[in-house]
Structure 1
């Protein structure tokens, strides 16, 4: 059965042999039960090179048939030892084989279905979760045979990467507001995860590009290649923010009340622009993407204003030079996050059905009524008190 990879074919062969009248119940029953184990070879072979869940499914299939065979064969052998079934030595026909085969599978299902959770746990024992992410679990090499499906999978993985990158920045801003070593460690883990995603996605998409793809898939693959770089850089800046927070804590650096208020304003703006950028990508929403550009201009203006305000405080002796270095690093990282968000939004706009260009989005649109209106709204929302 393992060689021909089909229990149905093996049963057919056994039925053909049964027509000779030389196959008895005692011979056929162990063979029929064994055929159900042999057919698991197909699933085991198919699971090679796939993700962990696929391999676990193959293990569950094998466990189901092995356990069922052991239990029912043991029960039958014990019953035969006690009751000495007369039909064991009788020859059987094709219908008998079909009935035994069907009855075995029904009985196995009735026996093991209530124990499905235990089979799942058993599969995790054989195929445990790795401490580090497995690239195979994210992207299946066999999907490359169908580029459109592979691109769809790449997009799903990129969306996961975007969520991780966004969470990294959110946690880093929380650490900046109130230091938490657990959150700081989470940010670094998220950054390592985005590095991993960038590597496997970049390599996968580049290799996928060598296959024949439609124009739409080619555009999408180029878009994803650009996006993963920006998402990875956002998580890098999140780590930089955490390092600044740790420096503030370790060196007992204090910001003035005005500085804290200003920092709160720009971090709120950066959090909003990140949410808009990621949302525009996940939902392929051009309208959300268009909101990123005026907000990015507001973040740039805030950065310059906060830098100027710091210089004034420094001149008045309200801020230390050491605090100034951390302040400058924070502003730079936050402003660069906004830049990467603008790049993400630009990818969404460029590859949308409207085919806007970056120049139209941020250049000529800058002087449009809609752009200026939204810019003024954001400028008012994040104006310093």
Structure 2
């Protein structure tokens, strides 16, 4: 029998493309319809590693990507939301959660793929409601997943009669390590273990590969999927690198253990297939699920050891940005309003220090274009937003108590300061987006423009720092100094804007570079305004 190689390749590649698009659409749709509460789930339910496993399973099922969950977890470890031990639990759970797609594929509804695609498209294009379009997106992805699988399966069916492929599968049965390598390499290329498991399910259903050869490929898929977390951790924090390494070690150890007991595991899966009358796709799904659950059960008691090992392998102190408030004790509110306000003030000053740190990292990003600085700045901005909600809530609870005039003034100052600090965070986030635009579009700023920006950044940083010191000490002289500096910032902005217009007219600066430059100046000027708002209120109350 002659094989049409072109049709085989085209159908396989087209099917794989539609399948990957389906996974992405389904994950994005589920994530949007579930709301942006994934970080809250991970934050709230990771008080111990066992809850971390459950949270990892839930979030991975929602976003349809174990790598996505691992990357999200890496960010939370860096942000101080969870310890490395809790993160290891989430990573283990992510490995279990990723098997959900294999089980979905095992439910043989491929013949309904096109109508599901149609319904999903209808919901996306004919409804303006965001929730409905999110559901439509998930449905479209669901349909595309099965449609892509069907295409891949029909493309791969001739492989059964190909001698070279038959020899490869026999070799994989006799040398399981070869199957692991095949699975690992293919997942590294495709960057999705779900896709390679789907292909494996198709091959097994076609009878092109037997169970003993398929299982090592499955173990390799799990090793290959760690590449996304590794790529995400390059150039990132030490915590990110440790979490990514944990993912690699966990899957590598699992593959080695199960390779040693391959005969036993193969017999167990064959027994399940017979007892539960599983179709071929569902058999692979059960094998994938069993492997990840058993691997988690085996390694769960050694979470502390894993954390110790990766800390030894990747030494160094990590920059942890603690999102959670450190001074807000709700019990104090009923005991003493004055003491509660003092606690709130300490947290507001901490929030202000974050604003200064975020602005510093933004300046470093502008100077070096290194993404680690923008990542830290964005984590700081997340911490500022988190503290904004927590402090405001705490201050609202204090206002329910009977306050003296002095306490009411202090309460008003703190409420307004929180709002101003939160806006500083928004402005340096805007600056980061402008720097991102400059880097992506290869927009060059002249040496003069960069020099002007550095000077304005330095003055703005000093103004923010002094406004926080003023809030802490209620120093009138310092407040007047901040106001003078803010006036200097305003003068700088006008002066540098004029210089920029001259540069554009002389052809030294492009229009797009000019837009970036002027917008950064504008955001820095607004940061100065918010810093001065804080000290002006202090002066008014004295």
Instruction: Give the TM-score, by structure 1 length.
Output: 0.55
> Deviation at 1:348?
2.4
Hey, what's the Cα distance between the residues in 1 that align with 2:436 and 2:375?
A: 12
Q: What is the match of residue 361 of structure 1?
A: none
Partner of 1:141: 330
Shift of 1:176: 0.9
Other-structure match for 1:210: 400
Hey, what does 1:247 align to over in structure 2? 437
1:321 equivalent in structure 2: 511
> Residues 218 and 269 (structure 1 numbering): CA distance in 2 closer, same or farther, change over 3 Å?
same
2:311 is equivalent to residue 311 of structure 1: no
> Which residue is 1:266 aligned to?
456
CA distance in 1, matches of 2:469, 2:322: 28
Q: Which runs of 5+ in 2 are unaligned?
A: 1-303, 305-320
1:48-84 deviation line (CA, Å, top 9, x unaligned): xxxxxxxxxxxxxxxxxxxxxxxxxxxxxxxxxxxxx
Q: 1:219 aligns with which of 409, 417, 421?
A: 409
Q: Take 2:485 and 2:367, find their aligned partners in 1: how far apart are those partners? A: 22
The correspondence of residues 297-308 of structure 1 with structure 2, limited to 5 A, is 297-308=487-498
Q: 1:153 aligns with which of 339, 343, 348?
A: 343
CA distance in structure 2 between the partners assigned to 1:152 and 1:132 by the alignment: 20
Question: Residue 213 of structure 1: SS of its match in structure 2?
Answer: coil
Task: Tell me the equivalent position of 1:279.
Answer: 469
Q: Structure 1: 5+ residue runs without aligned partners? A: 1-120, 122-130, 356-385
Instruction: Determine if contact 1:173/1:241 at 8 Å carries over to the other structure.
Output: no
Pick the aligned partner of 1:331 from 518, 521, 524.
Answer: 521
- Residue matched to 1:342: 532
Q: CA deviation at 1:257?
A: 2.0
In structure 2, C-alpha distance between the alignment counterparts of 1:298 and 1:147, rounded to whole Å = 39
- CA distance in 1 between counterparts of 2:324 and 2:469 reads 27
Question: How many residues are paired up?
Answer: 223
Higher deviation after alignment, 241-250 or 312-321: 241-250
Compute the RMSD of aligned alpha carbons.
2.0
Cα offset, 1:340, TM superposition: 0.7
8 A contact 2:324–2:387 mirrored in 1: no
Deviation at 1:139, TM superposition (A): 2.0
Is residue 2:170 matched to residue 1:170? no
How big is the shift at 1:132? 8.2
Hey, what's the Cα distance between the residues in 1 that align with 2:382 and 2:343?
A: 21
The one-character-per-residue Cα deviations of 1:93-138 (angstroms, maximum 9, x if unpaired) are xxxxxxxxxxxxxxxxxxxxxxxxxxxx9xxxxxxxxx98456x64
Per-residue deviation, 1:302: 1.0
Which ranges of 4 or more aligned residues in structure 1 deviate by more than 3 Å?
131-135
**CA–CA separation in structure 1 for the residues paired with 2:442 and 2:456:** 22
257-266 vs 176-185, which moves further: 257-266
Question: Aligned residue for 1:61?
Answer: none
**1:178/1:132 CA distance change after superposition, 3 Å:** closer
Give the Cα separation in 1 of the matches to 2:324 and 2:496. Answer: 43
Query: Equivalents in 2 of 1:261, 1:182: separation in Å?
Result: 22
SS of the residue 1:185 aligns to: helix
Answer yes or no: is the 8 Å Cα contact 2:323–2:387 preserved in 1.
Answer: no
Higher mean C-alpha displacement, 261-270 vs 155-164: 261-270
Question: With structure 2 as the length reference, what TM-score do the two structures score?
Answer: 0.40
Structure number with larger C-alpha Rg: 1
User: In 2, distance between residues paired with 1:288 and 1:332?
Assistant: 24
CA 335–319 in structure 1, closer or farther in 2 if over 3 Å, else same: same
Whether the 8 Å CA contact 1:227–1:347 is kept in 2: the answer is no
CA distance, structure 2, for counterparts of residue 237 and residue 150 of structure 1: 30
- Is this contact kept in 1: 2:381–2:425, CA < 8 A? yes
| Cα distance in 1, alignment partners of residues 338 and 476 from structure 2 | 22
Residue 230 of structure 1: aligned partner: 420
